[in-house]
Amino acid sequence: MQELNMKTGEFVNQNQKKFYEFTKRLIDIISSICGLIILFPILIIVAIAIKIESKGPVIFSQERIGVNGRKFKMYKFRSMIVDAEKYKEKLLKQNEMNGPMFKIKNDPRVTRIGKFIRRTSIDELPQLLNILKGDMSLVGPRPSLPKEVEKFSPWMLERLKVKPGLTCYWQISGRNDIQFEDWMKLDIKYVKERGTLLDIKLVIRTFFVLFGDEHAS
């Protein structure tokens, strides 16, 4: 069965779309379970290291915007000092990202172990739980904060048509060296091009990030 996309004027095969969504979810479930089992020793070691360096929770959870604007709690290993948000106002002038996003290299709030797990993307591994729960997918635009989404231009909201993910074009294209609008364009590009083969390609290319990405911070 085909359905006309009123925006593009192209026909969309609904059966292919449903098969892709089913396959994507199946891969997400299997991959997240296997990942949690295989990486369990690393997760424990990182959790202990975080706890030894500073008091506070090992896991940092934060409200993010998911598919169709649905809110959910995203998990990460805590890479900053406790109450890091309280010091954000003092650092706003150093923001290196245009648009509503806030990112700076050598953020003074980041702990020693935090620098390592950010550089290797290990801090993102708890999001395997988000994937298992169905809040996220292996591949998709990175989930944004509610206050960031509020400042999106209308065309940027198209990225909310799919589940947010661990990786997408942004992760393999320069990450923090990419300015905000170009980042959004990459996400929209994924929404329009998404498919099983593309997802596999992006996951494979992302593995290089695990060995250290000079663009990560």
**What is the spatial distance between Cα 107 and Cα 109, in angstroms, rounded to a whole number?**
5
Q: Quick one: tokens of 54? A: 């500073």
Contact 77, 123 (CB under 8 A): yes
Per-residue pLDDT of 181-205, as tens digits, reads 999 999 999 999 999 999 999 999 9
3-state helix, strand, coil in the chain (%, to 5): 55, 15, 30
Per-residue pLDDT of 66-114, as tens digits, reads 999 999 999 999 999 888 877 777 787 777 666 777 777 778 888 999 9
Q: Quick one: tokens of 139? A: 């591949």
- Total residue length of the chain: 217
The domain locations on the chain are: 2-211
Confidence of residue 179 (pLDDT cuts 50, 70, 90): confident
DSSP, collapsed to helix, strand or coil, labels residue 33 as helix
Please report which residue ranges of 64-174 form alpha helices under DSSP H: 112-119, 127-133, 146-149
Q: Is the pLDDT of residue 171 over 50?
A: yes
* Main-chain dihedrals φ then ψ at residue 32, nearest 5 degrees: -70, -40
What letter would DSSP give residue 56? S
Predicted TM-score (pTM) of the model is 0.84
